[in-house]
Amino acid sequence: MNGLAAELNAVSKRYRYFLLDKVSLKLPEGQIMGLIGANGAGKSTTIRILMGLVHQDSGEVRVLGHRMPAGQIAAKRDIGFASEDMRLYDSMTLGWHMNFIRSIYPAWDAAYAQALLKRFSLCADQKIKGLSHGQRVKSTLLLVLARKPKLLVLDEPTTGLDPVARHEILRELTNVMADENRTILFSSHNTQDVEQISDVITFIDRGRIIDSMDKEIYLDRWRRLRLEVPLGTQLPALPGVIDVQQQGRLAVATANAFVPDLANAYENSGARVQCIQNMTLEEIFVANVEHSREEVEA
């Protein structure tokens, strides 16, 4: 029933000190995709190429049916973009910005805009230069949300915000989900936020996509197994286990393709499985990045 809101196909972009290497990505309509990666991994570059703000060196980009960057004018009519390095005009008020956007986008929902002003505790008459960081971020998001765009592309929407502001924004993002025709792509360092609201998680590191899949399936694949290893027992190298840390008789195995048989395999080798733990997205993030970097270097 749903098409793709956005698609990147083997997109590459070379900068002096950085290479975005054949990035491929599918963003299904009606879903929320969380893009995670370390600083400098290529999240912002990928997003800018998606928005048509940066022209890729090779590869195809399609957003809402338009080829980018050629179709960027039409695409941007239905995209709401906010990035962490974006600023509004200091000397003007939030209300002026709201009118400015409203005059350009016919789909502006004035009632919703007023509701957002209240929910975000913002004052339309206030000049942008008088706002705190959190208020400024919320103002930018208000301008993007009140238009009810089909696709929301957000580069670090909650970075640097206090917990209350973060919560307010996440709430609004999940409210967007009520309409199954609307899609969100957001990048974040905050793995907790990504874990909570994403339907799909995409991992990017050093210019490459290392994982992109359904969040529940992804989280389900990762486990930490705490093992007790009797003296003289050698732990077997098992498929799906990417790291084993052993100190004395205790070992911790990290698996990225867990199946129950894995635990049995360890038991059969003589080790005792003390417990099998799920991993938070943050733990997965770190383990994944370390693992993928080792692989590249090998």
Partner 1 sequence: MTGSIVTHLIRKDLRLHRLQILLTMAAGLVALAILRQTGEVPFVLGSTWFFVAIIVLGSMLPVATIVNERKKQTLTFLMSLPLSSMQYTTAKLVSTLLMFLAPWLGLLLSAVVLIATRNPASFGIVPILLILASLPVVGFSLILATALVSESEGWAIAATIICNSSYGLVYYLISRTPSLTVNWTGHVAVWNAAVLRFLSAEVGVVAVIVGVTFLLQSRKRDFI
Partner 2 sequence: MLDTEYTEYTQMHGGLTLSQSDKRPMYLQIMEQIKMQITVGDWKEGQPIPSIRQLAVDIGVSVITVKRAYQELEREGIIVTQQGKGSHVSTIPGLGASLREQELQQHLENAMRVAAQLGMRPKEVEKRLRDAGERLAEKETV
With CB cut-offs between 5 and 8 Å by kind, which of partner 1, partner 2, none does residue 280 bind?
Answer: partner 2
Task: Determine the size of the site formed for partner 1 (CB under 8 A).
Answer: 30
| Piece of the chain touching partner 2 by CB under 8 A; list 76-84, 189-197, 203-211, 248-256 | 189-197
Which position among 13, 48, 206, 215 is part of the footprint of partner 2 (CB under 8 A)? 215
Question: Minimum CB separation from partner 2 for residue 208, in Å?
Answer: 25
State the Rg of the chain over Cα. 22
218/247 Cα distance (integer angstroms) = 28
Smaller CB distance to partner 2: residue 201 or 289?
201
Smaller CB distance to partner 2: residue 220 or 295?
220
Smaller CB distance to partner 2: residue 75 or 197?
197
165/109 Cα distance (integer angstroms) = 22
| Beta-carbon contacts of residue 26 (< 8 Å; ≥ 6 apart) | 4, 6, 7, 212
Tell me the backbone φ, ψ of residue 18, rounded to 5 degrees: -150, 140
Which position among 24, 58, 132, 174 is part of the footprint of partner 2 (CB under 8 A)? 174
The yes or no reply on residue 90 touching partner 1 (CB under 8 A) is yes
With CB cut-offs between 5 and 8 Å by kind, which of partner 1, partner 2, none does residue 48 bind?
Answer: partner 1
Residues 2-61 that bind partner 2 (CB under 8 A): 31-32
Q: 82 with 140: CB under 8 angstroms?
A: yes
The yes or no reply on residue 245 touching partner 2 (CB under 8 A) is no
| Piece of the chain touching partner 2 by CB under 8 A; list 1-9, 54-62, 127-135, 209-217 | 209-217
Which position among 83, 139, 256, 288 is part of the footprint of partner 1 (CB under 8 A)? 83
Q: 57 with 49: CB under 8 angstroms?
A: no
Of 220, 196, 223, 200, whose CA–CA distance to 211 is shortest?
A: 200
Task: Give how far the C-alpha of residue 249 lies from the chain's centroid of Cα atoms, to the nearest Å.
Answer: 38
Residue type, 115: A
Of 32, 269, 21, 63, whose CA–CA distance to 154 is shortest?
A: 32
| Beta-carbon contacts of residue 241 (< 8 Å; ≥ 6 apart) | 253, 254, 255, 256, 262
| Piece of the chain touching partner 1 by CB under 8 A; list 27-35, 88-96, 250-258, 264-272 | 88-96
Smaller CB distance to partner 2: residue 88 or 200?
200
Structure-derived torsion over alpha carbons of residues 16, 21, 24, 27, reported in degrees to the nearest 10: -40
Q: 288 with 211: CB under 8 angstroms?
A: yes
| Piece of the chain touching partner 2 by CB under 8 A; list 38-46, 71-79, 191-199, 240-248 | 191-199
Q: 190 with 154: CB under 8 angstroms?
A: no
Contact footprint for partner 1 (CB under 8 A) = 48, 51, 53-55, 72-77, 79-83, 85-92, 100, 103-106, 140
Contact footprint for partner 2 (CB under 8 A) = 31-32, 170-171, 174-175, 177-178, 180, 192, 195-200, 214-216, 219-220, 277-278, 280
